[in-house]
Amino acid sequence: MTPQTPKQVTFWERLQAIDRRILYVLLLAVIIFPLFVPIRLPMVTMPSTLKLYQAIESIPEGGFVIVSATWSGGTRAENMPQTEAILRHLMKRRLRVAVFSFDQQGSQFSYNIASRVAKDFGYEYGKDWVHWGFRPVVGVVMKSLVRDIPGTFATDRNGKPTKDMPVMRGIKDIKNVDAIVEIAASGIYMDWIGLVVGANPKLKFGFCPTAVMAPETYPYMDSGQIVGIMEGMRGAAEYEKLVNTIGLATKGMGSISLAHVLIMLLIIIGNIGYIVTRVRGS
Amino acid sequence: MLEPIVRFFSAQPPAVLPYYVAGAVVFSVLLIFVLINLPSRMRKPLIALVTFLAGLFYAAEFFLPIDKTTQKNVLTDYLVPASKLGSLLGGMTLTLGILSLLRVHGRNIARLRAGWYNSLALLVAMVAMVVFGLMDSYSANATAKKVFNVLFEGMLINMDATMFSLIAFYIVSASYRAFRIRSIEATILMITAFLVMLGQVPVGNALTAWLPTEGWLASLRVENIKQWILSQVNAAALRAIAFGLGVGGLAISLRIWLSLERGAYFEKEI
Amino acid sequence: MEALWQDILSRPAIYAGAICTIGLMTLIYRENAVYRFFEHVFIGLAAGFSIVVLIKEILDPFLYQPVFKKGEWYWTFAFMFGLLFYFIHSRKYNWLSRLPIGFLMGFSAGQAFQGFANTYLPQLAKSFRPLYVTRTDGSFDVPQAVNNLIFMIVLVTVMSYFFFSFEQRSKVIRNSAQFGRWVMMVAFGAIFGTTIMARMALLFDRMFFLFSDWLRWVQ
C-alpha cells in the first residue's frame, strides 16, 4: 500500500472551518467590550412599539390593566426589561394594575419587579395594584375571567381575599378592563385572542414576546387583534426610551449590535470560502 | 326534588365538615378501588366518556345561545368553578416528575453509583428549596427568607438564564458553519436575515441614518426595510401558514374530544 | 480577606448566582464534572420550587382555603381525582392517570371552537385588502395599493404551496407554489434574524450579571 499524502487544506477551505473556540472567544469579546466602552447609538422607535405605547397612553387615568407575566428565568434577559418598562409606564400613568402569571417562576418574578416599581411610584398594594398569583392552566382561567374577574381571582398571591381591595373596585368582568398586556416566551397570545380579546371590543391587547417570536405575531397586529408589540430586548430598549428610563435593555444594545455584526461577518467569511472553493473545484 | 342534593353539595358548617371531607375521601378511595378492578374492555370507553364530557362543557357553553337580558346561558355560571377545577388539576401535574427523580437519584445514592454525589446534591437542593420556600411563605423567619432569596433569585434563576444563554455560542457556530448560499431559497433566506438583523440593532440603523426620514427615500432606511419585510411579506406568509395550522389544530381538537385520535398514546392497550 | 467575607455576607444571592453561572458556563469548553454538579443542583432546585408552588399557589388557594375555611367540602373529590395523575408511575394501573389527562385534554379541545372562530375569522376578513386605496384628500395612494397587492399575492401563493390534497399538475399552481416557497423563505429569514437577537440578549444578560451585579466593574 502506498502511503496517502495528506490533502493540502487551502486557505479558502480554512475560512470555512474556523475552530469553534475562536468563535466563542470572539463572541464573548464583542459582548463584553461594550460593557467597558459603551457604544451609544441613536435608536429609532419601531411602529410596533410606538403603537403599544400609544395604546397605554390612551387609557384614562384610573383605568384597569391586567399584566400577565408568563415567563421564567430562561428568557429573563428579554422579558424582565419588558415587564419593568411596561409596569413603569402603567404606574407613571396612575393606572390600576393587576399582575398574574401562567408560569410558576413568572409569578415570583413579576411580584418582585412590580413591588420594586410600585415603590418608585408610591403605589400601595391592594389600593393601586394587586398580584393574583399563579395559574397553571391557561384556557379555563381565560374563559372564566371574561365573565367573572373577582370570582376567578378570589384571592391574591398571598391568599388574601381580593373582593374588598380598592384596586378591584368596579371590576366585574372583561368589559371593565381597559387593557391586557401579556409578556411571554410562548404562543399564549393565541389563547388571549381566541378566548378573551373579542369579548370586549374596546379592550386593548398588547404583547411583549421574545424577539424570536415577534415575526409570527405580525399577522395579528395587522388585523388589529394585537394593538402593539414590544419585540424582545430591542423593543424593551425602545420602550425604556419612551418612558425615560435606562434599564438593562438600553445598556445591552451596544453588545447586541456588535454580536450581530460578528455573526454577519462570520457568515460572509464562510460563504466566501465556500464560493471560491466551489468555483475552483469546478 | 333536587333540593336535598343541592343542599348536600353545598358548603357545610365547621362542626360537620370533617365528616363530609372524610366521607368524600372514603367514597373516592372506594371508587378508585372499583376502577382498578374495571374490566379492560371498559377502560377506553370510560376515558373517552370523561374526555367527551369535559370538552362538551366548553363547546356547549360557546354554542348555546345567550339570554339577551342576563348576557348568560345555562352554563355561564359554571365557568368559575370549572376554572378552579382546571387550576387544581393542572397544578397537580407540576410535581408528576418528582417521584421519578426521587426514585432514580435515591437509587444512585443507595448503590453509590458513579456520580452519586451529584444525585445527593440534587436531593439536598430539592429539600432545601421546599423547606425554605414554604418558610418564606408561611413563617416570619427572616433567615429563612434570606436563604430562599439565595436559592431562588441567586441560584435557580441565574442557572435557568445561564442554561438558555449557552445557546448563543451554539447559534454562532451553527450559523457560521451551516449558512451557505447553496440555492435560491438559501440566498433569499440569508438576504432577509441580514436586512432584519441590520434593522434590529442601532449599528445597522446608523448605516442608513444619512437618508431622510420623510419621503420615498426614507423607505430605503434599513429599519424601514425591516419593518416592511415583517409587516408585509412576513405577515402575509405567516398568516397563510397560520390558516393551515388553525384548521389542522381544530381537526386535532375534534379528534381528541371524540377520542378518534390515533398514535402510540391513544392506541396502546390498557 | 475580611472585606471579601463582608461582601459575600452582604450579597449572598449575587455570589451564589455568579458561582452557578460560571459553573454552568464551563460547558462551552467541554462536558465536565463541575457542569454536571451544577446541572443536578439546578434540577433539584427547579423540582423543589415546583413543590413549593403546588402547595402555596395551588393546594392552598384551591383546596385548603375552600374546604377548610369556607366549608366547600366537595373540592375533596377534585383533589382525589387529581391524585389519579400519580398512577402514571404504576406499571399495572397506569391507565388510571388517563382519566384526569383526558379530562384536561377535553377541556382544551372544547375551547378550540371558540378559539378558532375568534382567532381566524378576523384574520380572514382582514386578508381581503382593497387594491384601490385613496388618501384623505381623495388621491390614489400608490404605495399602499402596491403593498396590498404584494400582501395578497404572498398570502395566496403561500397557501397554494400547501395544496396537498391533489397533485399540482397545473403550471400556474406549480409556479405559484414555487413562488410561495420563496416568500416563505423571507419569513423564515426574518425569524432567523430575530432569533439571533433573542439569543444574544440572553448571553448579554449573563455577562452583565457577572461584570456589573457581581464584580461591579461596570454600571
Helix and strand element counts for chain B (H, E): 13, 0
**pLDDT of the residue at B268:** 79
Q: What SS3 class is residue A67?
A: strand
**pLDDT of the residue at A39:** 86
What predicted TM-score, i.e. pTM, was given to this entire model?
A: 0.92
Q: Which residues from A are below 8 Å from B246, CB to CB?
A: none
Q: Which residues from C are below 8 Å from B186, CB to CB?
A: 185
Q: Which residues from A are below 8 Å from B153, CB to CB?
A: 112
Rounded Cα–Cα distance for residues A216 and A189 (Å):
11
**pLDDT of the residue at A7:** 73
Rg (CA), chain A: 24
pLDDT digits (tens, 9 = 90+) for B32-70: 999 999 999 999 999 999 999 999 999 999 999 999 998
Q: Which residues from A are below 8 Å from B161, CB to CB?
A: 73-74, 76-77
Cβ neighbours around B110 below 10 Å, total: 10
**pLDDT of the residue at C168:** 77
String of DSSP letters for C37-48 = HHHHHHHHHHHH
A105 touches chain C (CB under 8 A): yes
Residue pair A232/A214 in contact by the 8 Å Cβ criterion: yes
Rounded Cα–Cα distance for residues B48 and B54 (Å):
10
Which residues, other chains included, contact A40 with Cβ-Cβ below 8 Å and sequence gap of 6+?
A254
3-state percent helix, strand, coil for chain A, nearest multiple of 5: 55, 15, 30
In the DSSP assignment, the letter for residue A64 is E
**pLDDT of the residue at A63:** 97
C129 touches chain B (CB under 8 A): no
Q: What SS3 class is residue A205?
A: strand
Amino acid symbol at C166: F
Residues in B 149-178 with any Cβ partner in A closer than 8 A: 152-153, 156-161, 163-165, 168-169, 172-173, 175-177
Q: The C-alpha cell of B210 is what?
A: 444619512
In the DSSP assignment, the letter for residue C28 is G
Residue pair A59/A95 in contact by the 8 Å Cβ criterion: yes
Q: Which residues from B are below 8 Å from A257, CB to CB?
A: 201-204
Cβ neighbours around C212 below 10 Å, total: 15
Closest CA to B249 of B261, B233, B237: B261
CA B224 to chain centre: 35
pLDDT digits (tens, 9 = 90+) for C158-214: 999 988 777 778 899 999 999 999 999 999 999 999 999 999 999 999 999 999 999
Nearest Cβ partner of B172 from A16, A27, A151? A27
- Measured in degrees and rounded to the nearest 5, phi and psi for residue A102 equal -95, 10
Nearest Cβ partner of B257 from C62, C79, C109? C109
pLDDT in tens, chain C (219 residues): 889 999 999 999 999 999 999 999 999 999 999 999 999 999 999 999 999 999 999 999 999 999 999 999 999 999 999 999 999 999 999 999 999 999 999 999 999 999 999 999 999 999 999 999 999 888 999 999 999 999 999 999 999 998 877 777 889 999 999 999 999 999 999 999 999 999 999 999 999 999 999 999 998
A219 touches chain C (CB under 8 A): yes
Rounded Cα–Cα distance for residues A164 and A134 (Å):
20
Q: The C-alpha cell of C28 is what?
A: 462551552
B73 touches chain A (CB under 8 A): no
Amino acid symbol at B2: L
pLDDT digits (tens, 9 = 90+) for B194-230: 999 999 999 999 999 999 988 889 999 999 999 999 9
CB contact under 8 A, B89 and C190: no
CB contact under 8 A, B236 and C185: no
Chain C adjacent subunits, 3+ CB pairs under 8 A: A, B
B244 touches chain A (CB under 8 A): no
Nearest Cβ partner of A104 from B86, B94, B204? B94
Rounded Cα–Cα distance for residues C84 and C96 (Å):
6
- Count Cα atoms within 13 angstroms, Cβ side, for A15: 17
Sheet holding A64-70, edge to edge: A129-134, A96-101, A64-70, A179-184, A204-209, A228-229
**Min CA distance, C72 vs chain B (Å)?**
4
**Min CA distance, B203 vs chain C (Å)?**
13
Rounded Cα–Cα distance for residues B225 and B106 (Å):
57
pLDDT in tens, chain A (282 residues): 556 666 788 899 999 999 999 999 999 999 999 999 998 888 899 999 999 999 999 999 999 999 999 999 999 999 999 999 999 999 999 999 999 999 999 999 999 999 999 999 999 999 999 999 999 999 999 999 999 999 999 999 988 999 999 999 999 999 999 999 999 999 999 999 999 998 999 999 999 999 999 999 999 999 999 999 999 999 999 999 999 999 999 999 999 999 999 999 999 999 999 999 999 886
**Complex-level ipTM:** 0.91
Size of interface B-C (CB pairs under 8 A): 402
**Min CA distance, B109 vs chain C (Å)?**
13
- Confidence band of B161 (pLDDT split at 50, 70, 90): very high
Q: What SS3 class is residue B6?
A: helix
Helix and strand element counts for chain C (H, E): 7, 0
In chain C, the residue whose alpha carbon lies closest to the alpha carbon of B216 is C143
CA quadruple A103, A104, A109, A114: dihedral positive or negative? positive
**pLDDT of the residue at C25:** 97
**pLDDT of the residue at A1:** 54
In chain B, the residue whose alpha carbon lies closest to the alpha carbon of A106 is B157
**pLDDT of the residue at B216:** 86
Nearest Cβ partner of B172 from A75, A253, A263? A263
**pLDDT of the residue at A5:** 67
CB contact under 8 A, C48 and B127: yes
CB contact under 8 A, C58 and A136: yes
**pLDDT of the residue at C170:** 87
Rounded Cα–Cα distance for residues A94 and A85 (Å):
14
Residues in C 41-60 with any Cβ partner in B closer than 8 A: 41-59
**Min CA distance, A150 vs chain C (Å)?**
14
Q: Which residues from A are below 8 Å from C184, CB to CB?
A: none
* Across B145-166, average pLDDT: 96
Go through chain A and tell me how many residues it has.
Answer: 282
C86 touches chain B (CB under 8 A): yes
Q: Which residues from B are below 8 Å from C57, CB to CB?
A: 91
Distances from the Cα of C36 to the Cα of A121, B102, B150, C27, angstroms: 43, 18, 20, 9
